[in-house]
Chain A
Amino acid sequence: MTREGNQHDEISYLRVQGRYRGIFAWIFSTDHKRIGLLYLYSIMTFFLVGATLGLLMKLELIAPGKTVMEAQTYNGFFTFHGVIMIFLIIIPGLPATFGNFLLPIMIGAKDVAFPRLNLLSWWIYVFGALLALSSQFMGDGPPDTGWTFYAPYSFKTTTNMLPAVMGAFVLGFSSILTGLNFIVTIHRMRAPGMTWLKMPLFPWTLYGTGWIQLLATPVVGITLLMVAAERILNIGFFDPSMGGDPILYQHLFWIYSHPAVYIMILPAMGAISEIIPTFARKSIFGYRAIVLSTLAIAFVGYFVWGHHMFTSGMSGTALYTFSILTFFVAIPSAIKVFNWVSTMHAGSIHAEPPFYWAASFIFVFMIGGLTGLVLGSLATNVHVHDTQFVVAHFHYVMFGGVGFAFMAAIHYWFPKIYGRMYDKGMAKTGWLIFFIGFNTLYLPMFYLGIRGMPRRYFDYLEEFHGPNIISTIGAVVLIAGLFMILSNLIVSARKGEKASGNPWKGNTLEWKIPSPPPPENFEETPVITRGPYDFN
């Protein structure tokens, strides 16, 4: 941490001396800011593991036949890559890191409603993560089922899938507790004068996410328990040879896992809604429309899970109901895009690194969303379901959407968190390399999917070779950009130039206090009289 390098006059949350010392001052801290950073460091560590697995898989796919690993290893890698990226990174992602750090500050509170519970969530997260990781090293080999654990394959495989399932189960509790904590915090702890419609948009999206975490996560908890029970006790919920139904598993799994996509993307949209106004020096366009669309996405998102199962043989009525609902979720997302772009209109745009990330977020998120329409439509879904097209699509949404927003967020709030500024030139170069690598990696996969190459393929026919080479090159470029970005941030957290309290001229509450913030955030509770984006 940046203790030594910090010479601010006021004691910041980074330097304050509590009951414990050294690392214990962090892992036992109930300060929401320190907890936010604990999540940040854990998530970044896992992310490096997940990204390495991704790169290795891409290297394997550079040519047909075996290149760098065996089929079994490959199948284990994509399972582990998926479990890490989804359960350990994107789901906690923005809410647990920036949500924890910023939610209380942005609504003018000293901490979240239940600080101890908050620390407990992090501990549960670590425990769940270790459990999931243990599946790699114990028993009969790493699980090879894919992160979806589809029955009945997940019961037939001889690999060690139980710890991974239990890990995901435990991680669910961490998510539920964080969601609960945020909902209560938002209801009870807003500063005097901060009416609902004076609340900034990032807290609004955390609110929407909180409800999804609270209501949807228990379903996956139960499902995962059923999987465990099935595997240990041979009950037969999902095993057709014992009268069970494998399709039931898919329903239960996606009832959670689809809304989970919105757990991931809503806070990302929230962060973008903070960043664009600040760098355009202009009020957000259509505040109410953005709030409403957030709630609409959180709500309609519950009812579209069936679009993962269009080819599984559901009834026709179910199919087109799910199809049309899926199309409806696209509308609030489109509204947000229109509002973000309109915010730039007539602004005074300061093209700093966070703005680069935010603008490119809009671009990649649009590609992710628009290709989602191809998947929501019945006829086209049948053709590209379970192909590389789907893989490209959700990487544009998850990695492009959530990932770019995360990068935007870290570059935006970095000076607030560490009280230091990174090298902006290097940040922009890193962004450019990353952006080029990202698109080179995933665009060819859309093409491959439309041509008919299935996903989760260790090997492929010669006819698919060309685009796979391009895609692998993209992966290498992306990783190079990532290294540049991360090394810039890591070095600057200790050695960067000092940053003022409000380096970007932002207008929300976090910019009204010193950087890094004092332990209690505010010397006296702020009273809110203006909207969050009133720039004059």
Chain B
Amino acid sequence: MYSSTGIDASNFVSGVDTAFMVILGIAFFFLISITATMIYFIIRYNKKRNPIAKQIKGSTKLEIIWTIIPTILVMVMFYFGWAGWRPMQNPPENALEIETTARMWSFNFKYPNGRITDTLYVPQDQPVKLNLFSLDVIHSLYIPAFRVKQDMVPGKENQFMWFTPRSLGDYDLFCAEYCGLQHSYMYSGVRVLPREEFDKWYSDTSRVVSTAGAAPEMKGLQILRINGCNACHSTDGSKLLGPSYRGSFGATRIVETDGEKREIIVDEEYIRRSIYEPNSDIVEGYSSGLMLSYKDLISEEEIEDIILYIKSLND
């Protein structure tokens, strides 16, 4: 009815949608019948038609009836809500486990073979379990078509969500918990592939999808995209939460190191340090604590590509 896909995109859709139908059905029934009764009374017992009111003070029988009926109905509604939700708590043993990390303002997905992506690729009909981690504030992973949502609380262990994708296609994936400036841009997608296609995609373990034939520095841009750097750094010179890459290479910066101000020049070493220990030198006019270290996420070679790309923005 209200599925954005119109189909069973995941194993939870039918349970959740049944609960929706039951509750919305009961809700519409009461809304319409009570409103209609009220309007009827207002017309029927208008002062012109009924100049003298009949003083009725109540009826214990009615009070009992309209306490019991709603009580039964809420139990029914509770049951359907519980039944649709319970399977979400029990991931199957054979699920494909994907380490999912959120930070301001991007998600990334790490597969068992080490492959990292910013879009979630999953095989059709395979149970998938996302182990959820947040590096900074609370985020919430939400895939409307699958009817799943789970908060990602920093520092909390054993957070997960699971589902079995049923239909091929691309689906939206949002961050649902407000997490600051770019919250509404913290979204990505889920791509459900047929088994063979997924396996082919999966076996390509180079961490970055090669842009065949493209200039080497474009690899740098890919890495920045996948790691969500562009949420805070622009490539066109405009100031976001962090300084723009454009024109930064070779520029002089005033930075604060351990509370001391000093002047430095942006070079390879500085960029490397900015990525691995972002809070050791804080650029004047920007806040500390926003950018987190990418020590285990970005390799030395990848930093070389990033530097190539940043340099390329200068010409």
Contacts and interface: CB of A to CB of B under 8 A. Distances in A.
27 contacts: A71-B184, A72-B181, A152-B137, A153-B138, A157-B180, A240-B154, A246-B154, A247-B153, A282-B55, A286-B57, A311-B149, A316-B89, A327-B75, A330-B74, A331-B67, A339-B58, A344-B38, A348-B46, A349-B45, A349-B46, A349-B50, A363-B35, A378-B82, A378-B85, A463-B4, A534-B55, A535-B55
Given A380-B23, A386-B140, A331 B74 contact: yes
A160 B165 CA distance: 44
Nearest to A355: B42
Contact of A351 (B46, B138, B142): B46
Given A156-B289, A313-B156, A347-B54, 7 more contacts: A287-B57, A330-B70, A344-B42, A346-B53, A349-B46, A379-B82, A457-B183
Interface string B118-150: 000000000000000000111010101101111
Interface string A373-384: 110111111110
Interface size class of B (residues with CB under 8 A): 35 or more
A437 to B, nearest CB: 19
Interface stretch (B26-34, B191-199, B267-275, B299-307): B26-34
Nearest to A292: B63
B135 to A, nearest CB: 10
Interface of A: 71-72, 75, 144-146, 150, 152-153, 156-158, 240-241, 245-247, 280-289, 311-313, 316, 319-320, 323-324, 327-328, 330-331, 334-335, 337-339, 341-342, 344-351, 359, 362-363, 366-367, 370-371, 373-374, 376-383, 385-387, 447, 450-452, 454-461, 463, 534-536
Given A311-B150, A377-B23, A386 B176 contact: yes
A152 B31 contact: no
A319 to B, nearest CB: 8
A281 B53 contact: yes
Nearest to A333: B70
A337 B85 contact: no
Given A377-B23, A378-B81, A458-B184, A282 B56 contact: yes
B221 interface: no
A471 B222 CA distance: 38
B153 A313 contact: yes
A380 B20 contact: yes
Given A280-B45, A382-B16, A452-B4, A287 B58 contact: yes
Nearest to B139: A153
A150 B151 CA distance: 13
Contacts of A458: 183-184
Contacts of A327: 74-75, 77-78
A377 B77 contact: yes
Contacts of B205: none
A354 to B, nearest CB: 14
Interface in B72-88: 74-75, 77-78, 80-85, 88
Contacts of B80: 377, 379
A335 B66 contact: yes
Contacts of A377: 19, 23, 77-78, 80-82
A288 B60 CA distance: 10
Given A286-B58, A320-B82, A535-B53, A246 B138 contact: yes
B215 interface: no
A536 B26 CA distance: 39
B256 interface: no
A274 B135 CA distance: 53
A382 B34 CA distance: 29
Contact of A283 (B55, B89, B290): B55
Contacts of B34: 337-338, 341, 362, 366
Contacts of A347: 41, 45, 50, 53-54
A383 B153 contact: no
B159 interface: yes
Q: Which of A339, A373, A387 has most B Cβ within 10 Å?
A: A373
Contacts, number: 267
B113 interface: no
B179 interface: yes
Q: Which of B46, B50, B78, B289 has most A Cβ within 10 Å?
A: B78
B63 A286 contact: yes
Nearest to A242: B155
Contact of A289 (B42, B58, B81, B84): B58
B42 A349 contact: yes
Interface in B142-174: 142, 144-145, 147-151, 153-156, 159, 172, 174
B54 A346 contact: yes
A330 B75 CA distance: 11
Contacts of A376: 77-78, 81
B144 A348 contact: no
Q: Which of B50, B70, B83 has most A Cβ within 10 Å?
A: B70
Given A337-B34, A367-B31, A152 B154 contact: yes
B62 interface: yes
Contacts of B142: 386, 452, 454
A349 B41 contact: yes
A388 to B, nearest CB: 11
Contacts of B52: 348
Contacts of B182: 71
Contacts of A373: 23, 26-27, 74, 77
B144 A285 contact: no
Given A282-B55, A458-B183, A460-B184, A379 B81 contact: yes
Nearest to A240: B155
A214 B63 CA distance: 31
B71 A331 contact: yes
B259 interface: no
B7 interface: no
A251 to B, nearest CB: 13
Contacts of B59: 285-286
B63 A335 contact: yes
B201 interface: no
Q: Which of B47, B50, B63, B77 has most A Cβ within 10 Å?
A: B63
Nearest to B289: A156
Contacts of B2: 447, 450-451
A456 B180 CA distance: 10
Contacts of B46: 348-349, 351
